């Protein structure tokens, strides 16, 4: 005998929901994604209250005053948690007839059912070589000693990113080492003293090596990437103090709403690979309070201009 699967009253399939649209039993369909996502692609007749918003409860109560109203909530898919979280919160608000759309918007579209909205796909910027916008790009650094740490910034000098079919094929950028700044020391004299120490031969010898450079050698997409996690694993050659050595790190690479691309990465480098040895326990003994961590933590925030270079 065939096995009977019991009906789950807290879920409804896309086909069952589609069947009751525009009938007297049509529930309120609540999209709990962001307003931008709702504008791009949504179920017909759905309303929107973003579950990520602090004011989610107030939004829902203003949209659906009667807590006995049948509600179907949906998010992106069953692989993400926004719809289940919204359903739980609605029940905690006192709503008594809350159902979740099985599979969310992804399952609805996969079933070939109608979708409203401006677009279901985010267009990629055009392919080409995009110059780095050095004014909006920066590098944040953190250096540590035994009981403390210091933070600061570095400015980019120039750079470019080449994209083909939404993937990076080439990239390079320079760092103006003369731009080293410290952001955590408030005393002006102490701040200037640390910066002078970093500029000098003990660290980066900026008078002889005013520029550092990164050149991409390989980019691999991270297929398991989700929103908010790195999208690519990057390898490249990094030149500092006249020494070139390979580095690799994960980075996010995303198209910007205003055009062009934005990249961010958070990783550490071992400064001693570039002959920056001051205070390193690997090379000096009994350093005491003069010990400095070999690792410098870097946060890259690099943005391109909206349009690629023209090649006439």
Render pLDDT for 251-268 as a digit per residue (tens, 0 to 9): 999 998 888 999 999 999
Q: How many CB atoms lie within 10 A of CB 161?
A: 26
Q: Same CATH fold, 128-303 and 11-110? A: no
Torsion of CA 87, 20, 42, 115, to 10 degrees: 150
217-258 pLDDT, tens per residue?
A: 999 988 777 778 899 999 999 999 999 999 999 999 999 888
Q: 267 - beta bridge partners?
A: 298
Residue 6 has pLDDT above 70, yes or no: no
Q: Residues 65-80: pLDDT tens digits?
A: 999 999 999 999 999 9
Every domain of the chain and the residues it spans: 11-110, 128-303
Q: Is CATH 3.40.190.10 the classification given to domain 128-303?
A: no
The pLDDT of residue 37 is 93
Residue 221 has what pLDDT? 87
Which superfamily does 11-110 belong to?
Rhodanese-like domain (3.40.250.10)
How many Å apart are CA 190 and CA 167, to the nearest integer? 44
- 221 contact partners, CB below 8 Å, separation of at least 6: 167, 231, 232
Phi and psi dihedrals of 155, rounded to 5? -105, 145
Confidence of residue 2 (pLDDT cuts 50, 70, 90): very low
Identify the three-state secondary structure at position 261.
strand
- Angle value at C-alpha 89, between 228 and 47, nearest 5 degrees: 75
4 pLDDT more than 50: no
């Amino acid at each position: 005998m065939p096995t009977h699967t019991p009906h789950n009253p807290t879920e409804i399939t896309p086909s069952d929901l589609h069947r009751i649209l525009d009938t007297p039993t049509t529930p309120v369909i609540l999209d709990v994604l962001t307003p931008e996502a709702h504008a791009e692609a949504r179920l017909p007749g759905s309303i929107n209250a973003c579950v990520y918003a602090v004011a989610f409860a107030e939004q829902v109560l203003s949209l659906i005053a009667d807590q006995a109203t049948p509600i179907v909530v949906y998010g992106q898919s069953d692989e993400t948690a926004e719809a289940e979280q919204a359903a739980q919160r609605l029940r905690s608000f006192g709503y008594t007839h809350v159902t979740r759309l099985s599979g969310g918007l992804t399952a609805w579209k996969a079933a070939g059912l109608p979708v409203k909205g401006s677009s279901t796909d985010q267009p990629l910027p055009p392919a080409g070589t995009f110059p780095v916008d050095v004014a909006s790009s920066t590098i944040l650094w953190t250096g540590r000693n035994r009981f403390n740490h210091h933070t600061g910034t570095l400015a980019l000098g120039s750079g470019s990113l080449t994209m083909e079919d939404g993937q990076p094929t080439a990239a390079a950028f320079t760092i103006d080492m003369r731009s080293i700044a410290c952001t955590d020391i408030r005393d002006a004299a102490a701040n200037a003293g640390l910066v002078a120490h970093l500029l000098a031969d003990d660290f980066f010898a900026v008078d002889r090596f005013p520029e550092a450079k990164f050149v991409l050698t390989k980019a691999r997409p991270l297929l398991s990437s989700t929103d908010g996690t790195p999208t690519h694993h990057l390898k490249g050659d990094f030149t500092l103090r006249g020494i070139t050595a390979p580095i690799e790190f994960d980075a996010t690479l995303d198209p910007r709403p205003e055009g062009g691309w934005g990249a961010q990465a958070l990783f550490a480098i071992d400064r001693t690979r570039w002959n920056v040895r001051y205070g390193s326990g690997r090379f000096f003994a009994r350093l005491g309070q003069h010990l400095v961590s070999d690792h410098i933590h870097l946060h890259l925030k690099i943005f391109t201009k909206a349009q690629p270079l023209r090649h006439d």
